[in-house]
Every structure is written in C-alpha cells, then in structure tokens.
Amino acid sequence: MTESVLINISLAILFLPLFGFVVTLLLGKKVKSIYLFEVFILTIVLISAIVLAFGKLSYFIDHKIVSEIEWFRLTDTIVIKLGFLIDNLTVLMLFVVALISALVHYFSVAYMKGDERYNRYFAYLGIFTFSMNGIVLTNNILMMYIFWELVGLSSYLLIGFWFEKKSAADAGKKAFLVNRIGDLGMFAGILILFLTYNTFSFDTIFQSISAGKIPFNSEFWLTLTGILLFMGAVGKSAQFPLHVWLPDAMEGPTPVSALIHAATMVAAGVYLTVRIFGLLTADAMMFIAVIGMLSAFIPATIALTQNDIKKVLAYSTVSQLGYMVMALGVGAYKFAFFHLVTHAFFKACLFLGSGSVIHAMHHEQDIRNMGGLRKKLPLTYATFLLSSLAISGIPLTSGFLSKDGILASAFAFGSLTGYWIFAVVGFLVALLTAFYMFRLIIITFHGEPRDHHKYDHAHESPFVMAMPLVVLAGLSIFIWYTPNPISADQGWFLTKWIETPELHAPNSTRFDFMQSEVVAETQQVAEHNSSHGEITYSEKYTEAMHSAHYPAMFLSLFVAIAGILTAFVFYQWKKVNVEKLTASIKPLYNFSLNKWYIDEFYHKTFVAGLLGLSKIIYWFDATIVDGIVNGSATVTRAISTFTGAFDKYVVDGLVNFMAYLSGFIGLIFRRIQTGKVQTYIVLVIFSIIILFFFF
Amino acid sequence: MNNFPILSFLTFLPVLGMLIVLFLPKKEVQAIRITTLIVTGLQIVFSIILVMGYNYSAGGINDANSFQFKEFFNWISISDFAGIGKIKIDYFLGVDGLSTPLVLLTAIVTFIATLSSWNIDKSVKGYFLMFLLLDTGMMGTFVALDFFLFYIFWELMLLPMYFLIGIWGGPRREYAAIKFFLYTLFGSIFILLVMIGLYFSSMETLADGTRVFTFNLLELMNTANYTETGILSPLNPNNLRLVAYIALFVGFAIKIPMFPFHTWLPDAHVEAPTAISVILAGVLLKMGTYGILRIAYPIFPEITYQLAWWIALFGMINIIYGALAAMAQKDFKKLIAYSSVSHMGFVMLGMSALNTMGISGAILQMFNHGTITAMLFLIVGVIYDRAHTRDLEAFGGLGKQMPIYTGFVTIAFFAAIGLPGLSGFISEALVFLGGFGSGTTRILAVVSTLGILLGAAYMLWTMQRVYLGSLNEKWKDLTDLTGREYAMLVPLTIIVIYLGVNPSPMLNLMNASVNAMVKFIADAQVFYSSINTL
C-alpha cells in the first residue's frame, strides 16, 4: 500500500458518484433500471471507502497525505490549485458518508418505488455524494467552498424533488437562500485568507499563521476571519439564527432527510469548523460556543411539542449539531468529531426508521394518528429504540460516549474559565432530548393505534429497507469505538484515529488552557514546536477534564433517565394529564409549537423588507430614472415644437411678411407706373427739387 | 497563413454574405437563412483558427509589436488639410488577450442568434441583411486599433440595431428602437468629442520623421507623443483630461449599461426579437466595458487611478440595484434584462480593482455573461414562442411538462447565480478576489457580495414561479425542445460547463495582456505623478 494507491482510491471515491449521476441522468428516460447502476456505483464507493480507511489507519496512521494539482494560473505568483488532504479525519468522514449514502441508496430502492422520477432521484443522490466527498477530501478552502455550493445545489434539488408540491419547492428555495447567507460570510473569510496568504491551502495558511503572519497584522482580524468562515458552518449545519431551513427541508423524501439533513450535509459545517480549528482565537471560539449553545437549546424546546415525526427529528438534529458546535467552541475538538460520527449513524437510523413508519402508514407523518406500531413494525421499533437510547445518552450506546465527552468538556471549560453556562445548558438539553425522543417513541410505537384503518394496512418494511436500519443501529453500540462502555478516552477512536488538533493562532489570542507551554522555554524550541503545533492543551486542561469526567457522567446519566422517565409518566402511564398541563402553560406551549415565531419574524422583517425594497427600487427606476430620460425627451420635443412654431410663424412669418409688404408697397406704387411720359417728367422734377432741398 | 488578413476576413465576411443575400430572390427565405448560417459558421471556424495561431505570451494593450494578426495601411491621408496639417487615418486591425475572447464570443453568439432567427417570417431578406451588417459592426469594433475606425464600426452597429428592433420587435418596438438609438447616439457624441480632442493633443512621428496628428490608439497611449499645448495633453497644465475621461466613460457606460444610464436596456430587450436580445446582451453590452478597457484605461491611466473608487462604486450600484430591480419584475424578459445590469456590474467592479485578478475576472465575466445571458434569453424565447406570454405569474409547473427544457433552465439559472462548476463562478470569484485585493475597492467589493445572495433570490424565485409547483392546465399542450432549440442551447451549455471546470484555455488567452495592462497602468501612474510634481 503506497500513498499513490490511496490517492487513486480517493479519486475513485470522488468521481465515481459523479459518473453515476451523469449516466443515470442521461439514460434515465430510456433505461428503466438504470438506477441499479447508481446503486452499484455507490456499493463500489463504499468498498473503496472501507479500503481507504483501512489502508490509511493501518499503514499511514500518523501520516498526512497531500496531493495538489494546478487548476489555473494568472501569473507565476497567482496559481490556483486543487488538491486532496487525506488524514484520519478524512478517511473516517468518507467512510461515514459512503456508508450512509450507500445504505440510503438501498433503502430508497424500495421506499421510492413507483415514483415517476425514480431514476432522476438516484441521479441526484449521486451528485450529492460527489459534492459531499469533495468537501471531505479537499486540502484547500476554495475547493471546499466549491463543493460546499454543490452540496447546496444537490440539497436544493432533493428537497424540491416533489416540486409539484408548493411547500416542497418553497423549502428547496429557502434552504438554498438561507445557506447562501452563511456562505457569504464564508466567502468573505476566504477573501481575507487569500489576500493575506496568497493561497487557499489549509496547511500553508496554518504554517504562515504559526510564523506570525495574521490578517492585517491584527488579532481582531484573525478572530473575524475565523467567525466569518464559521458563518458557512452556521448555514450548512443549520445553526441559530440560520437554522430555519432544516425543518422545512423535511419536505424532501425521507431517505434524503436521513442522508443529507441528518448525517452528512449538515455535518459538513462541523467538519469545516474542525478543519479551521487551528486558526480560531479564544474570542472566535467563544462566539462559536454561544452559537452552538443557542442552537442546542432553542430547537430542543421546539421539538417538545411537534407532532410531525420528521419535524421532531429535524429539530433534534439541529440541537445535536448545536452540541457539536458548542463542543468545538469549548475546545473539545475530538469529542465534537466523535459526536459527529456517532450522531450520523444513529440519526440516519432514526430518519430511516421514520421513513419505514411513514412508508408503512402510507405517507402519514402525524404521530397523533399513529400508536401501537411496535407490534406491526417490530424491527423498525427495535432499531428506533436503540438509536433513541443512543441520542438520549444511555450507557452501552455510542451516543452516551460522545455526548458525555462533550458535557464533560463543557464542565471542564466552566471550571477553567468560569463560564458555566455551557455546561448548564448542555445538561438541560440532554434532559429535553431524552424526554422528546421518548415522547416520540411512546406516541408512535406504544399504546393503542389511533387510526385503525392505516394501522391495519401497516406492514413491516422489505429487506432492502430493514437491512440499513439494522446496520445503523448496530453502529450505535459502543464496541466499534472503544472497548470500555463507559469511557471512550482510552478507545482507539479517540486515541489512535483522531489526531490532536494543531493550534496555530498566536498564543496571546488563545484560551489560557490552550497555551503552548513550550513558549516559556527557549525561543528556538518554541519556534520548533509551534511550527509543528505539537502542544495543544495544557496540563491544567487534562486535570480539569479528568476531574470533570465522573461528575459529568453521573449527571448526564441522571438527566437522561429523568427525561425518559418523565416521558413515560406523561405519555405511557399517563400519570399526568398532558392536555391539562399544556393548557396551564398555554403561552409557553404555543411559543414552542410555533417555533419561537422565528420564521414569522424573518418573514415580516427580512423577506417582506427585501421585497418591499425591490418594489421601491423598481418604482424609482421606472418613475425617476426612466422618468428623467423620457422627461428630457419630452422637453426636447416641447422645445422643438416651440422652435418649429417660432420658425413657422416668426422666422418664416417675417419672410412672408416681407414678401407681403413688398407686394403691398408694389400695389401702392404701381399706380405711379402709368406709362405716360408726362407723369414721369413731373415726378423727376419733383424728386430733383426734393433732393436739392435736402442736400 | 501569416499574410492572410484573417481579421479583415472575419469582419467583412458578413458583408460578403450581404451581397449574396442581396442577390437572392425575396422568396428564397431558406437560402437566405442558410447563407447567413454559413457566414456565421465560417466566422466561428476562423475565430478558432485565430485562437489556434495565437501567441499566448504576447501582451498587446499599448505595444504595437505584440499585437497579433495585425493589418495596417494608410486609409485616409490628406496632406495639409485646411491649415491644420496632415490628416491621417489608418486602417489598423489587431488583437490581443483583451479582444480575442470577445471575437470568439461574437462569433459564437452570432451563430446561435442566426439559429434563433429561423422563425422570423416578416421580410426575411431585410432582416438578415441588417443582421449581417450588425455582425460586421461588432467584429470591427473588437479588432479596430485606430480610434476613427473604431468609431465607424461603433456607429455602424446602431443603424441595423435600430431597424432590427424597430421593425421586427414587439408592440412598443418604435419607442424602444428610438430610445435605444438616441441614447446610444447621445453617448457616441461624447466619444466623438474626446476622440477629436485627443487627435489634436498627440502627434505621431512617422517613418520619415514628420510629426502628424493621429487617431492610432497605440500612439495615443504613448506619453511621449503628447504636444505641449494639446487640450488633452498631460503636459498642458490646464488640460481637460479629467473631464474628457468622464465624458468618454459616460459614452461607453451607456452601452454597459451603467446606472443611471441603463433604462434603455429593459425596453430594448422586451421589444427586441429573441435573437436580437441574445446579441444585444451577449455582445453589445460588452462593447461598453471593452471600450473602457481598450481606450479609456490606457490613454488616461492616471485618471483611471484617480477614479477607480468611483468605477467600483457604480459597479456595486449596478450589482445591487440591478438585482433588486430584477426581483420586482413580472415580465420574464425584463427580469433577465435587469439581471444583465447586475451582472455587468461585476465587470465594472473587477476592472476597477486594477490588479491581475480583478481585470482577468472582468474580461472572463464579459465572456461568461455573454454565453450565460444568451442562454437565458433563448430560454425566455422558447417559452414565449409557445405560450405567447412572458408573464411570470401566468406559468407554474413547467418542469413536469417540459423536463428537458427545464434541465437547461436549471443549468443556465445556476450559472447565472454563480454556482461553482459553471463558468459564472470563476469570473465572479476572480472579480471579488481582485476587488478585495485592492485597497481602494475593498469595502465596495465586500458590499457587492450581497449581489450573490440577491441573484440567487430572484433567480430561484423565478424558477419556482415558472417551472415548479403544479402545472397550470392552460399549458398542458406545450411541447419540449425542438431540434433547432437543442442546437442553440447545447453548445452554450457545453461552454458554460467546460469553462466552469477548466477555465485555463480562456484565462491563458488573456493572461499576458491582463498583466501588460496592470503593469502599464502602474508604470504610467508613476510617470504621470512625476509630471505633476514638476
């Protein structure tokens, strides 16, 4: 196994789905079963991703493979490159993407059966997988932005797949536009990076930062660059205040929600933040932590009251992504990525499970019309339950490990900096999560069926749909990540697979616990070390994490169980009258049910404002700007009418008058022209006398 | 091949076509169309030959030696005319990296427009005569290197365009044609005045040592040629170069069209037949920015420096104002027209940066906008031919009825939005990188990025109103693309995708010239500031 083999495998992983997209799209009309080609391609991609991960983790585990080619050049110094960066993060992420994408392909074969644009659906899945793989594989921020936008396109196409439905078309548009708001920030960040470093490559940028070169020689600008780049993540990972597109995106086919809007595309934002982690300053991290915290909390409160099975899962996705982002903000780099991976599996499982339910219930999504489904859909129920345990953070699941890590980090962060708010909100959200997930399970699967007609026709899903559920549920068990079911700290995932992040932002801009300690030693050593970025966290941090471990673990276990029990008390055992309770907190309930009125607020302010502004601008254009043009034409015409009249009546009038006058004079004097010599002689004499008198 | 006058051939091939068409009987409409198609097809062939023989390292801009495919002879030479000395006008053609992409663009767009003209059935002969004359005017403008010659070609386009809109246009065609004609003529007067002013301010030294007034653009760029007393000579302390620059700029800006001189464009587009809209947006608008880059920039480099911020400001206004105005439209074609206003703003923003990335981005954007907007107007044409309305509210759900057409629409719309992988992205990205890279235009460039968002908003909204949602029953008989429509849309789609993935062929064509331009302006700036300190 050599580096070039790995690079070639990566190339195949990247371009095969594109090939699948083109073939499936072009032949979709003619060849009915062309979708099988796309499914086949994805199987190859999955195998390649496994081989790549295996090869990388066994032969090059401490080695970063970079390969670049020139894309285009303007001068000898302005050369734009494209390239791959294959480190452990890359291969793990590629594996996650390829696996879930392949499973979703299989699942869709049955789920989408009979759709009139069946082949096109698979083509779109192909271009999505291509774009997502591009984000994961790239070594530079421009290429990431390119694939970032392509993911936006695929998401637009897939959300609006059933475009005849206005709500679906609306949702696609909204997703693209809201994402673009974040992308503007990211693009501005890219502009700053290129201006400062004349390159887009992550590595070169990081090296320059370590060497002391920062944008505009100002720490503020470095912070701002980090925040601007993170704006891209706010859009893609549906973070507050740009989270509004994700719940609407549920208009897309359910397998798409599992692939794009739960496991992969929305994780791209976290992946971006992971990639740029090295340049984040303490202020930028604080900003990120706050955004993550709000994004974890607000959707969790909304998920409590939603009745659409997919909407609950969508809000829970935003909330879990908020955890990851908050984790990055508080410096828990490894746990953020760990949670990304575990969440991808169990959330994909939940979404596909909901797809299985929706499929069985003939496109019913309202959980109030469900109930008792565990008897009809035992396998779906079992996998759904396992994944729900994982998301709630119950031991023996993967979710327990990663979530506990994040909570412990937030706890440690509180003890190191005094900002306890992140830990407090973190545990609160854990409580809410456990509650709303089990509310969902109990109403959907437990109790008695509410819609008997649909219940009677419900049936367990076929093998191609069941198999992905089992695989994903299986991956929600701890054993894949660590041998120790209550702590992942010593497991291979955190110690071997994920590298410690390298920090590059100047020491003065970092948190106290993230200082490079070698700085205190001789200058030479400092330079040596900082260029390699070997030291990441101080001893203090390790100690704080250590002492946070057990309290955090017990507390998180406690809140998870409390949440689940409350859900049982409310909905299973019905010890509390839920309706009476909601009636007593009606305003709060409505606030949650209506999603904090955030959509309404945006509509009344930004959307209406923009449309109003465009109307005003167009009025201005048609009335004022064009009015001046037409006005000057009118004025010119008026002047020309006036000159025309002047010419006709005054100038020409004068000419005619002169003619008339001479005629008139002639008329008078013609009397003299008698032709008689006598008269002429008299006139001559008179004239001479007059002349004589005058001169 | 070296002595073959390829540029004259490219320019006057349509005139040859006109002669053939002139002798064809009126009834032979098919023969007339095919003649035009062959002529424009040959133009593509010869412009490809041009590119194949192109020397990528020659810069051009102000250096006569590095212009390529040059043709030069004295055209009008009157010795001692009415006491003002010798009058000398040259027939001087040549191309560099600034004009070659546009020659290529003109050939491609004209060919596509010929196909699009197939369904013109009102006095076909007259139409194609005018069409070919227009073609000569456009080609000539891009290859002329003598100001006088340039001006002749520039004015030559006006007449056929006036008739093409005024006779073959929509219901308000007369108003639109007159507005277009007068507005452009108004701009031409400014250009003419500056041209005459420059003529009397600069003297070229001939081979025999005599010094004569000159219209030769390259001689006008040479600072050594200016007279002491010329009204536009930098050596004259009371010179009017700033005023002249603004006048020249306005003359060209009307064509771009730059806010606030843009209102002729929506009217002209709405009334013009599809093919003419394609040419108007695809080629004619580029002449404004081309004129500025070819003439205003190198002849007045110091004023360009001085006014760069203002150019960027108007670029930014075009981008945002055009996008907002587009958003308010109810007529599909008018919306695309305003989107052109917005997209041409990117060209202005890029060229105001005065650095390699900005100017490369600007020229590339000229080419890309030409192809993308041609697609957009063809798309409107397809639907208008079938439904006879362009009201955005009247449609809905066409994606189901006309899936292949909608596929092309999706590509064109996303290209216009600047989606990576399609050509528009590269040029927009270069424009922003350049604009941000220049300290003068930095803030304006950042504000202009809003245009990306607004562009996506009005385009996707249009997408939704026309193509998505449930199908309006009224349109359930609309048919998908015909063979001729494929022939128009497929080549453009290939170009848009190819240049999005691999922009190198186009950028390599421009690089030497762009760098020569950037260097020339920077050097000239040093020179002019030394004059001012004297």
Contact A71 B504 (CB under 8 A): yes
Q: Is B530 domain-assigned?
A: no
**Chain B neighbors of A73, CB-CB under 8 A:** 504, 507, 511
Helix/strand number for chain A, H first, E second: 30, 2
Q: Is B459 domain-assigned?
A: yes
pLDDT value of residue A517: 60
Residue A535 has pLDDT above 70, yes or no: no
Q: What is the mean pLDDT of residues B107-111?
A: 96
The strand pair at B211-213 and B203-205 is best described as antiparallel
- The closest CB to that of B263, out of A146, A195, A626, belongs to A626
Residue B339 has pLDDT above 60, yes or no: yes
Q: Which of A403, A694, A441, A447 lies closest to A556 in space, CA to CA?
A: A403
pLDDT value of residue A694: 80
The domain in which residue B85 lies consists of 6-525
Contact B400 A177 (CB under 8 A): no
Q: Is B225 domain-assigned?
A: yes
pLDDT value of residue B83: 58
pLDDT value of residue B82: 59
* Shortest CA distance from A161: residue in chain B: B468
CA-to-CA distance for A385 and B37, rounded, in angstroms? 68
**Chain B neighbors of A156, CB-CB under 8 A:** 460
Contact B467 A163 (CB under 8 A): yes
Q: Is B534 domain-assigned?
A: no
CA-to-CA distance for A441 and A567, rounded, in angstroms? 9
Contact A194 B433 (CB under 8 A): yes
Contact B327 A164 (CB under 8 A): no
**Chain B neighbors of A146, CB-CB under 8 A:** 420-421, 425
Residue A145 in contact with residue A169, Cβ under 8 Å? no
**Chain A neighbors of B498, CB-CB under 8 A:** none
pTM to 2 decimals? 0.92
- The closest CB to that of B400, out of A164, A166, A614, belongs to A164
Q: Is B1 domain-assigned?
A: no
Phi, psi dihedrals of residue B204, rounded to the nearest 5°:
-100, 140
Tell which of B263, B430, B443 to mutate to test the A interface (max A CBs under 10 Å). Answer: B263
Residues 6 or more apart whose CB falls under 8 angstroms from that of A366 comprise A307, A308, A309
Residues 6 or more apart whose CB falls under 8 angstroms from that of B61 comprise B96, B98, B221, B298, B513, B516, B517, B520
Tens of pLDDT along B179-233? 999 999 999 999 999 999 998 888 877 777 777 888 889 888 888 888 878 888 8
Q: Is B122 domain-assigned?
A: yes
Looking at this predicted complex, what is its ipTM?
A: 0.93
CA-to-CA distance for A365 and A672, rounded, in angstroms? 117
Contact B460 A176 (CB under 8 A): yes
Q: Is B531 domain-assigned?
A: no
Q: 3-class SS at B89?
A: strand
* Shortest CA distance from B361: residue in chain A: A74
Q: Any chain A CB within 8 A of the CB of B260?
A: yes
By mean pLDDT, which of A500-504, B25-29, B67-71, B195-199 is the weakest?
A: A500-504
* Shortest CA distance from B356: residue in chain A: A74
Residue B211, H or E segment? strand B211-213
CB proximity under 8 Å: A 593-652 to B: 610-611, 613-615, 617-618, 621, 625-626, 628-629, 633
**Chain B neighbors of A72, CB-CB under 8 A:** 502-504, 507
pLDDT value of residue A511: 85
pLDDT value of residue B373: 95
Q: Is B532 domain-assigned?
A: no
Contact B457 A194 (CB under 8 A): no
- What are the structure tokens assigned to B230, written together? 């010329």
Residue B61 has pLDDT above 80, yes or no: yes
CA-to-CA distance for B25 and B328, rounded, in angstroms? 47
CB proximity under 8 Å: B 495-534 to A: 502-504, 507, 511, 514-515
pLDDT band for position B81 (cuts 50, 70, 90)? low
CB proximity under 8 Å: A 527-546 to B: none
The Cα of A629 is separated from the nearest Cα of chain B by a number of Å equal to 8
The total number of structural domains that make up chain B: 1
Tens of pLDDT along A233-288? 999 999 989 999 999 999 999 999 999 888 899 999 999 999 999 899 999 999 99
Q: Which of A332, A472, A337, A471 lies closest to A410 in space, CA to CA?
A: A332
